[in-house]
Amino acid sequence: MCGITGFIEWNRDLTGDAALLLTMTETLGKRGPDARGTWIYGPCAFGHRRLSVMDPANGAQPMVIHKDDNIYTVVYNGEIYNAPELREELKQRGYKFRTECDTEVLLQAYIEWGPDSVHKLNGIFAFAIWDSVREHVFFTRDRLGVKPLFYSEREGTLIFGSEPKAILEHPKVDPVVGAEGLAEIFILGPARTPGHGVYTHLRELRPGQAMIYSKSGLRIYTYWKLETYEHEDNETQTAAKLRELLKDTVERQLLSDVPVCTLLSGGLDSSALTALAVDYYTRSGQGQVHTYSVDYVDNDKYFKAHSYQPGADAPWIERMIAELGTQHHWIRFDTPELVHALDASTEARDLPGMADVDSSLFLFSREIKRDATVAISGEAADEIFGGYPWFHRDELLNSGTFPWSVATQLRSELLSPEIREWISPQGYIQDRYQDAVNEVPRLRGESGKEAQMRIMSYLNITRFMPTLLDRKDRMSMAAGLEVRVPFCDHRLVQYVWNIPWEIKTAGDREKGILRKALEGVLPNDVLYRKKSPYPKTHNPAYLNVVRQQVLNILDDSSSPILPLINQDKIREIASSAEASSNLPWFGQLMSGPQLFAYLAQVNHWLKTYKVAIR
């Protein structure tokens, strides 16, 4: 994994902008701690920070290939999991390779097939390629959006980067936020509308899109999207197909020239990936798999089961360690560490994020990085298989809005009257919800429950899953750790998309078909345990600290957040112990304590990035 950035300006030679390019590149140093590289050729400037995973000695970027007096140059962030097959196909077509890294495979594939090469890739990626034959720069992003790519077109210059911070270093892009950006922060956040960059002049290339920038301008098109068709396999065939797909995906993603570990929560998804990894390591003679889990000081004392978090993870982690014989690493954090890391996690995203859910992952990734460079994680299974409570609770299924964000009225009340009137919170979220519903690729003749669940699945895959993928990418890469997410393999996602809800819930259980597919891979008690989400702290000390942090912000007349919020309403919530701890603010994990932490993140973001509101 890496960080990429650069800019293109057709009417100017950029040779004199080497210092600016280097400055932009260095903002991404944490994404790529192992090496850096820059390249300028006439109107094109590319920068790269490298995290070495495959062929560390020879995979330097920007990578340049000269062919028949033509120049092709790539900056690339990601992993191509079918690189070995593509390498062989290209060799048969006469191509020669000087490295063992997937970067060269990617660039040679582009030389052979041009922009259509993206259809041949299985992986997670965002990259830019200078093509001197076509005189354009080709950009693309993986199908599910695991790897990020932001851009800004300003005054004849296209500026791009893995993270907003790189683009914001360019003098043509200022940290300005308008009404839409504030609505994204205060009404949708920490989720975002696909493609929205929050900053006024910033966009994000959507998952499954490609972009070509030439002298004639910017063209963006979709190269992949979910396709809807009749599912022809029965339940038994579906389970067998899923098992085959998941096994193939995991084994592809275990390939690496550096240590690989798994994140283990003891739940269905992480346990399945770990079991498949152990099986592969055993068969290939690669030794013991290392596993990591996260928890918090005194969580055992304060944890209370509820519908979103029915049980503690620790006993199930121990169960899987004993079953699989992994080398396990227990990581625990205390309240002061979580609070202190809120600022670092905000700066990793360049935006306020998922509060301590972010900061804990940042700290967790930093600890893992001491021993490993690549980790396997279970993100996306709940979105594609229908594991979340809102797939199964009528009041959320029929809420008429994003089911993880049903507190729009409360969130509106947190805003100052002027900001509330400016951004129109209810109208904004309803418009974004309707946009999403209108996109759903429906099946002819499908109605009732099946049609309803197809809409819910689409909302989760295209609106909620990107929030967690953003979180995973920014927090892990801020620690120089690459995290791979096998459930985001596009073949798997496409197949599951068309499985009827009756089969998805086989055995009358959430994610029932996945459980059936994994019979024999996991012990039955783990296979059929109730879902529990990523663990958060339940220590009341955390609530007390972040609540006081917000009260201190309110008492400081220089706090940049003050003109944007309803200070009296926030003080009222802070004075109510019940409201402070149990607000249904966002998703499964973010309630009262996370609301306060989020407001503190917003204030830190406004101050640190010198954000102008207009």
Q: Which residues of 261-282 are buried (b: 16+ CB within 10 A; e: fewer)?
A: bbbbbbbbbbbbbbbbbbbebe
Count of alpha carbons within 13 angstroms of residue 189, beta-carbon side: 25
Contact 103, 74 (CB under 8 A): yes
Determine whether 44 is an active site residue: no
Burial class (CB in 10 A: 0-12, 13-18, 19+), 307: exposed
CA-to-CA separations, 459 to 36, 44, 194, 390, 524, in angstroms, rounded: 38, 38, 11, 11, 31
DSSP for residue 170: S
SS (H, E, C) 385-414: HCCCHHHCCHHHHCCCCCCCCCCHHHHHHC
Q: 412 φ, ψ to 5°?
A: -65, -40
Paired tokens of 220: 């963006």
Q: Which residues of 464-478 are buried (b: 16+ CB within 10 A; e: fewer)?
A: bbbbbbbbbbbbbbb
Catalytic residue among 2, 101, 261, 488: 2
Contact status, residue 384 vs residue 497, Cβ threshold 8 Å: yes
Radius of gyration of the chain (CA): 24
3-state DSSP assignment of residue 78: strand
Residues near 304 by beta carbon (within 8 Å), at least 6 away in sequence: 538
CA 103 to chain centre: 22
Spatial separation of the C-alpha atoms in residues 184 and 177, rounded to whole Å: 10
Cα–Cα distance measured from residue 233 to residue 152, given in angstroms and rounded to the nearest whole number: 45
CA 144/CA 129 separation, integer angstroms:
20
The DSSP secondary structure of 178-197, one letter per residue, reads -HHHHHIIIIITTS--TTB-
Pairwise CA distance, residues 252 & 330, whole Å? 27
Task: Point out the residues that are catalytic.
Answer: 2
